[in-house]
């Protein structure tokens, strides 16, 4: 819980974290094509730049550009200036690039460690929310609040379930149509929205399928593809129930494969129930703030799931972030004795503080345990022996050149 004095991670969990090895498999269509670009970009990054610094810079760019779009489109119904959606497209591409090269930078500088993987996934969980919100604004999905929440929560659910599967099998699996493809689709949506504003057209409100608008059809296609990846043969759900890496098909922590289900279901049920039980129509009047609240709660429980996987620990079902929907529920139960919009923003502040505290505390404990820094790395990188050419190299630079650089 927030402000607790005891450590979040036990000595056993920190030990298991130190032994953790990253495992993944990828069948993405675009990743092989993008690898050449990413391999070139990483060579432009100085060797003194920490991988986690690359990750956080990408996240900041993505969040700032998304918030600018939300500022100009506060209800998700306004036509935002073309440059705001164009900046979102650029910001997302920058985030994608930096997110792809942080691991490469860690290998270049010989500083790869479990903290980097955890930090990367934590930033991804936040990026998922802000990309979803900016997409809602770009296509003006705020005209249809239920569609907006469905689209945003589906993105967060898919991200959570992907790490649920990792917690069970020990391997993070990227499908044929996955993160990279989804990000390029969002970039295309942002650029189309920019073109729409420059030409003075109304593309997203055009009816293209019976009584559905183009924005709704795009939402259906995107979420449909994501949900299909869950239920298809040998899909995510199939791997959860049949691919347990622990004893008797259990998770990597030896717990039930269903243990991560309860936080997920609790947040989903609370989100929809509170939205449609509200007497003040808080969800319909404050759509983006309401979605942001539950998106941040999803980010928190996803981070705890990632930590549980990497530390081989059990899922904790008590979480301070869940006090936010509990407060909204009690307020509705007692006939809304506090104005709901005020309580919504109070809950939003609470969840932001709780998430920030949790991430900061976990990173500090891991840094102390692994004796590493979060945003700095040793420079020059450690020297390794290259037996093939008989010379010692550091990130592709010979020892002789490295000594000359030190003298300079």
Is 143 known to be catalytic?
no
Sign of CA dihedral 249, 254, 259, 260: negative
Distance CA 157, CA 225 (A): 13
Distance CA 213, CA 41 (A): 39
Contact at 8 Å (CB) between 75 and 290?
Answer: no
Q: Which residues pair with 26 in a beta bridge?
A: 174
* Contacts for 390 with CB less than 8 Å, ≥ 6 apart: none
Question: Which of 301, 305, 164 lies closest to 243, judged by CA?
Answer: 164
Contact at 8 Å (CB) between 407 and 393?
Answer: no
Question: Which of 290, 289, 288 lies closest to 276, judged by CA?
Answer: 290
Structure tokens at 327: 């407060």
Question: Which of 298, 275, 266 lies closest to 156, judged by CA?
Answer: 298
Secondary structure E strands in 116-189: 172-174
Contact at 8 Å (CB) between 343 and 353?
Answer: no
The catalytic position among 121, 163, 284, 317 is 121
Secondary structure E strands in 217-270: none
Contact at 8 Å (CB) between 205 and 140?
Answer: yes
Catalytic positions are: 121
């Amino acid at each position: 819980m927030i402000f607790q004095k005891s450590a979040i991670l036990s000595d056993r969990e920190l030990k298991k974290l130190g032994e953790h090895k990253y495992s993944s498999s990828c069948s993405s269509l675009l990743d092989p094509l993008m690898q050449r670009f990413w391999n070139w970009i990483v060579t432009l990054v100085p060797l003194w730049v920490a991988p986690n610094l690359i990750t956080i810079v990408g996240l900041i760019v993505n969040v700032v550009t998304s918030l600018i779009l939300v500022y100009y489109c506060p209800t998700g119904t306004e036509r935002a200036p073309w440059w705001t959606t164009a900046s979102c497209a650029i910001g997302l591409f920058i985030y994608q690039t930096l997110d792809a090269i942080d691991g490469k930078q860690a290998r270049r500088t010989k500083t790869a460690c479990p903290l980097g993987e955890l930090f990367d996934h934590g930033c991804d969980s936040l990026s998922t929310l802000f990309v979803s919100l900016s997409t809602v604004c770009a296509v003006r999905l705020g005209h249809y609040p239920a569609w907006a929440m469905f689209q945003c929560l589906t993105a967060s659910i898919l991200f959570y379930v992907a790490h649920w599967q990792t917690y069970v099998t020990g391997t993070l699996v990227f499908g044929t149509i996955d993160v990279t493809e989804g990000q390029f689709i969002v970039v295309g949506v942002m650029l189309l929205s920019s073109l729409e504003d420059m030409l003075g057209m109304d593309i997203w409100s055009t009816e293209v399928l019976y009584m559905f608008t183009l924005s709704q059809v795009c939402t259906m296609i995107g979420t449909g593809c994501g949900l299909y990846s869950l239920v298809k043969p040998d899909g995510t759900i199939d791997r959860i129930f049949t691919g347990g890496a622990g004893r008797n098909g259990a998770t990597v922590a030896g717990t039930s494969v269903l243990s991560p289900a309860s936080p997920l279901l609790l947040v989903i049920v609370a989100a929809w129930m509170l939205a449609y039980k509200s007497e003040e129509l808080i969800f319909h009047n404050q759509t983006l703030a309401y979605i942001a609240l539950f998106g941040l709660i999803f980010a928190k429980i996803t981070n705890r799931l990632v930590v549980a996987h990497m530390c081989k620990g059990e899922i904790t079902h008590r979480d301070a972030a869940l006090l936010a929907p509990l407060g909204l529920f009690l307020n509705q139960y007692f006939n809304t004795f506090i104005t709901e919009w005020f309580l919504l923003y109070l809950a939003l502040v609470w969840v932001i503080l709780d998430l920030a505290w949790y991430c900061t505390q976990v990173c500090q404990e891991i840094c102390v345990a692994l004796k590493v820094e979060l945003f700095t790395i040793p420079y020059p990188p450690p020297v390794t022996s290259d037996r093939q050419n008989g010379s010692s190299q550091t990130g592709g630079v010979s020892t002789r050149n490295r000594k000359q650089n030190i003298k300079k």
